[in-house]
Amino acid sequence: MTTYHVVARNFSTHSENRMHSDEMANRYGFQGALVPGVAIYGHLIKPLVAHHGASWLNDSCVEVRLIKPSYHGDALAIEWPGVGEDVVATNQRGELVAIIATRQPEEISNEPGELGLLGKIKVPGRPDIAWENVCVGEVFSPWAVRLSLEENQRYRDEIGDDDALYQDHIHPHYLLSLANQALMQEYVMPAWIHVKSKITHRSALQVDDEVVLRSVVTDRSERKGHQFIAIHLTFWRDDKVAVDIKHHAIFRIAE
């Protein structure tokens, strides 16, 4: 059993997503501002990367599920029994807050059409997100990003990960955070919650790599009064997919 102890930090108090503020989170019945789910993911992958090293960033597939909110200052225990087992995070109250399950890497096409990326392009702009403008099959405009050393270091610092591997390799916390940003580039989202993601690494991304992010809306659904969006996001380096993310969020929280 590998165990890490970390303190959850809310570094997004000034985010447009006001679920990272006490006022908005309290309105929806939470005890305080929510720590970003991408940060919890960043903590959870630590034992996997420590064990497998750079090979995990070249060939892996995991699904993270965010089960309960984490609050600033929560003491989290990250536990991993070993290869083939789930990584789990529990808080100081003994509550299970998140799980990473290892999945078999899927074959991922390098053909945009097979990934649904040749469909109708969403009209540029950021409308307020609403049921009627979450359109399944709609494609976001390609987004070019240089994966900078400064941003990589910032995301490492936010979760206190000093693994020397990330002096050259891009931290998975940074990559999953870009999935959040891909959503927020397309919609005004004042109160939303990341609930789960499936992340497949096919080729490790490096500092200063130039990538193009391409996304398509794959689902919208309603459950228990919550409204959900799902997008499929791919990171293209040259003409090949390096990272594939299936990203799910509640965009309208039940009141």
Burial (CB count <10 Å: 0-12, 13-18, 19+), residue 136: middle
Residue 164 pLDDT class (50, 70, 90 cuts): very high
pLDDT by residue (tens digit) across 59-100?
A: 999 999 999 999 999 999 999 998 889 999 999 999 999 999
The domain total for the chain is 1
pLDDT at 147 over 90: yes
pLDDT by residue (tens digit) across 190-238?
A: 999 999 999 999 999 999 999 999 999 999 999 999 999 999 999 999 9
**Domain carrying residue 217:** 2-252
Percent above pLDDT 70 for the chain: 100
pLDDT by residue (tens digit) across 45-66?
A: 999 999 999 999 999 999 999 9
pLDDT confidence of residue 107: 80
- Cα–Cα distance measured from residue 189 to residue 255, given in angstroms and rounded to the nearest whole number: 16
Mean pLDDT of the chain: 94
Give the CATH number, domain containing residue 59: 3.10.129.10
Contact 188, 128 (CB under 8 A): yes
pTM of the full predicted structure? 0.94
